[in-house]
Amino acid sequence: MSGALASELLKLRTTRTFLGTVLAALGLTALLAGAAAGVAPYESGDIPGADVLDAAGLTQPFALVLGILAVSTEFRHGTITPTILAVPDRARLMAAKLGAHGVAGLILGGVSYGFTALLVLLVLPLRDIAPDVSLGDAIEMAVGGIVCVALLAAIGVGVGTLVRNQVGAVIGGLSYMFLIEPLLTALPTVGRYIEDYGIGGGINALSETTFAGGAELSQPAGAALLLGYTALFAVAGIATLRARDISA
Amino acid sequence: MTAIEVKGLSKRFGSTLAVDDLSFSVEAGRIVGFLGPNGAGKTTTLRALLGLIHPTAGSATIEGRSYGELDDPSRAVGAVPDGGMFHPGRSGRNHLRTLALAADVEAKRVDELLELVGLADAADRRAGGYSLGMRQRLALAAALLGDPRVLVLDEPANGLDPQGIRWLRDFLRSLAAEGRALLVSSHVLSEVAQTVDEVVVINRGRSIAQASIGELLAKRDGGVRVAGPDVGRLAELLERDGAAVTRGDDGALLVADRSGEQVGALIAASSIHISELSHAGQTLEDVFFQLTGGDEEPAG
């Protein structure tokens, strides 16, 4: 493992941000998944197992924010100076941050999907509700969902490098995800393409969410699309970081 | 070998020329003070040297290479940047551990350095609660992780109490005694005057002087003060020699245009009994103010 990657992983472990993000994501997931598993009414045609599992998708915005904080926090506290002195190759630094936050995203997603899977296995049987989802489909959903959380963390790293202001980056990132892109899908003609091929389209396809009424793309295509967005933000982030004067 | 070489360095931020065609060098084993009023361009110069900002023109190299070209930067050069650069929620030890990993430095070096800078007891506390002096010590420890041959310190004495400044002075001297080259910036000459071998004085982004402390002292004027029972005779001799002599309120002589050495020689040759012979007038600080025009207007 490269020193830069090990350093970034240690940074994540040595402040409360990562632990706080995991706990907050888990708390919200527990609330919604708990409701879906414990009290939600189901009719025939519903897939209760998939609905409960899907609640782990709530982790996605937390992963995005965690990624955004990766670089913006370094600028905010000035730690970017010793960081770049230790790793002067800024592309290598970005690669390490992308890798570390990808790993953090996998952990975050893994914990959330693991938790909702437990609810499917333990709580639904108590209510005599059949999950109605095959093990293969559930694994496909969970793996796609976990990868999706990891990619959103990586996209966040890029966003947090492009937008210098930390608060602006967090608000901007979340607004785009939940407000701007959904609004854009309502546009005539182009709206459809934004819905299918925007970041939200990639997320829906990759995580096989049951909420959006099915995605246009297949799961692998969704993965490729999100990977493409990740690469785009990463390249733009590296270019920005390279050009920037580190003066604070 | 030239440890640090700044050649024709310029940096423009928008319409402000923060550093203007600056050149100077630091040889191995020397401590050089980098002096100038606030806003003179010191931090910008040091950050250009460390590859943090991109020069508009010219170059700044360490052992002949730009920072980005160094094979193993943390072993070549260590830096204490201006201001505390820590995540307030991370402990001092963990701050050093993250940097040690990134620089491929052994973990046990972290504990050695915490001991060396006197932070071992506070190492596991969150850095946000550190005093200014503790932050500077932590920054020094970070700079020394790779046991570098060159050290670049930006205002390391800023915010330190007199005890801290004294500790820093002794510490920097011990580092230079080990053969390292040190470039130490300050806006207060007295902080570094007793530590440095030479100074580079800049103002408004331009170099005004690079000289040893001795050479700088030689630029002083203000004359020599002589007191004692026989100064009346001395005054006659000096006046006969054409010197400008005035009498102080306490009866002592002030000789404006003779050096201490010249006056001393005359005293010895004429067997004159005196009680005091001292430099009068300008201090080293006065020379510094004179060089920098005494203005503190920020230039960037």
pLDDT digits (tens, 9 = 90+) for B134-174: 999 999 999 999 999 999 999 988 878 888 888 888 999 99
User: Residue A211 — very low, low, confident or very high, per pLDDT cuts 50/70/90?
Assistant: low
Residues B264, B299: Cα–Cα separation, whole Å? 45
Confidence at residue B294, expressed as pLDDT on a 0 to 100 scale:
58
Where do the domains of chain B lie?
A: 4-218, 224-281
CB B147 within 8 A of CB B166: no
B43 to chain A: closest CA residue: A247
Mutate to test the interface with A, among B61, B90, B93 (most CBs of A within 10 A): B90
Residue B102 C-beta-side C-alpha neighbours within 13 Å:
32
CA–CA min distance A247, chain B (Å):
7
Beta strands B245-247 and B150-154 are unpaired
Q: CB-CB: which of B73, B81, B94 is closest to A14?
A: B94
The class (CATH top level) of B224-281 is: alpha beta
Per-position DSSP letters for A156-199, written without gaps between them = HHHHHHH---HHHHHHHHHHIIIIIHHHHTTSTTHHHHHHHHSH
- In this predicted structure, the answer to whether residue A214 has a pLDDT above a threshold of 70 is no
- In this predicted structure, the answer to whether residue B281 has a pLDDT above a threshold of 50 is yes
B260 in A contact zone (CB under 8 Å): no
Q: Which two three-digit tokens encode residue A219?
A: 């799961």
Query: pLDDT tens across B200-256, in order?
Result: 999 889 988 888 877 777 666 667 888 888 888 888 988 888 888 888 778 888 887
Q: CB-CB: which of A17, A78, A88 is closest to B67?
A: A88
Residues B135, B153: Cα–Cα separation, whole Å? 13
Residues B265, B247: Cα–Cα separation, whole Å? 20
- Chain B residues lying within 8 Å of A19, measured CB to CB: none
Q: CB-CB: which of A6, A11, A84 is closest to B52?
A: A84
User: Residue B298 — very low, low, confident or very high, per pLDDT cuts 50/70/90?
Assistant: very low
Using a pLDDT cut of 70, give the percent of chain B over it: 94
> What region, left, alpha or beta, does residue B8 occupy, with left being phi > 0 and alpha being psi -120 to 50 degrees?
left
A-facing residues of B in 114-173 (CB < 8 A) are 142
Which residue is listed with tokens 């709206």?
A191
Beta strands B198-203 and B31-35 are parallel
Confidence at residue B84, expressed as pLDDT on a 0 to 100 scale:
60
> Cβ contact (<8 Å) for A86 and B83?
no
> Cβ contact (<8 Å) for A77 and B70?
no
- Bridge partners of B198? B32, B212
Dihedral sign for Cα B75, B81, B87, B91, please.
positive
> Cβ contact (<8 Å) for B101 and A7?
yes
Which residue is listed with tokens 């002083």?
B220
Residues A34, A47: Cα–Cα separation, whole Å? 16
Lowest-confidence pick of A36-45, A189-198, A204-213, B113-122: A204-213
For domain B4-218, which CATH number applies: 3.40.50.300, 2.102.10.10, 3.40.640.10, 3.65.10.10?
A: 3.40.50.300
- Matching fold, domains B4-218 and B224-281: no
Residues 6 or more apart whose Cβ sits within 8 Å of residue B74: A85, A86, B103, B104, B105, B145, B146, B148
- Determine the 3-state secondary structure of B137 from DSSP: helix
Query: pLDDT tens across A7-16, in order?
Result: 999 999 999 9
CB A219 within 8 A of CB A137: no
Which residue is listed with tokens 């990586």?
A154
Q: Which two three-digit tokens encode residue B227?
A: 């007191």
User: Starting at the edge strand that comes first in sequence, how are the strands of the sheet with B57-62 ordered?
Assistant: B16-27, B2-13, B57-62
φ, ψ (nearest 5 deg) of residue B209: -160, 145
Q: CB-CB: which of B47, B86, B99 is closest to A77?
A: B86
> Cβ contact (<8 Å) for B97 and A14?
yes
A87 to chain B: closest CA residue: B102
Q: CB-CB: which of B13, B67, B90 is closest to A15?
A: B90
Give the burial string for B135-149 (b: 16+ CB within 10 Å, else e): bbbbbbbbbbbbebb
- In this predicted structure, the answer to whether residue B293 has a pLDDT above a threshold of 90 is no
> Cβ contact (<8 Å) for A3 and B101?
yes
Using a pLDDT cut of 70, give the percent of chain A over it: 97
CA distances to A99, A239, B80 from B158, in Å: 37, 34, 12
Confidence at residue B277, expressed as pLDDT on a 0 to 100 scale:
87
In this prediction the ipTM stands at: 0.89
- In this predicted structure, the answer to whether residue B299 has a pLDDT above a threshold of 90 is no
